[in-house]
Amino acid sequence: MTKQETPLTPQEEAVWRALAPLILKLPKVLDSDLRAGAKMSVAEYAVLMHLSEAPGRRLRMNELAGRVAMSASRISRIVDAFADEGLVTKSRVDDDARGNLATLTDKGFERLREAYPTHLASVRRRVVDHFAGLDLKALAACFRAIAEEIKR
């Protein structure tokens, strides 16, 4: 019997049964909180956040899509809508006629700053406040390892 075929221990089963509904419910409530408080979806927030953290506040569209785990078409729709609002600019990559860059404008950065308190409060209330007493370094390492495994 391989490790993958070994039944879960009662403790592993309890963790999995607690995690499974969380995986489904958490994105919905975080999105709902952000929409209610900041009139922005979590996907839109993620786009602005990743652009704000990038050098020069700009990323190639395909890199942005990878960072926020969205399809190229979904990223294009969000970036195009943000461009219409003046939150980002979209331009061609100089050395690649097929590539596009999304650049966060000052107006977009301000929009992110306005949404941040709502998102922070939601993340704290819905998630982080429940981590009291846990080894956060180990938990973060575990989450990163799972995400890396999924990426492959």
Domain ranges (residues) in the chain: 12-151
Question: What pLDDT is stored for residue 5 in this prediction?
Answer: 87
Q: Which amino acid is at 104?
A: L
| pLDDT over 70 (residue 36) | yes
pLDDT: is 96 or 14 the higher one?
14
Which of 14, 56, 34, 7 shows the shortest CA–CA distance to 115?
A: 34
Q: In what order do the strands lie in the sheet with 96-104?
A: 58-60, 96-104, 88-93
For 75-108, write each residue's pLDDT tens digit.
Answer: 999 999 999 999 999 998 877 667 899 999 999 9
DSSP-derived secondary structure letter, 7: P
Correct CATH for 12-151 of 3.30.2320.80, 3.30.1330.120, 1.10.10.10, 3.20.20.150:
1.10.10.10
Question: What pLDDT is stored for residue 85 in this prediction?
Answer: 98
Question: What pLDDT is stored for residue 45 in this prediction?
Answer: 98
pLDDT averaged over every residue in the chain? 94
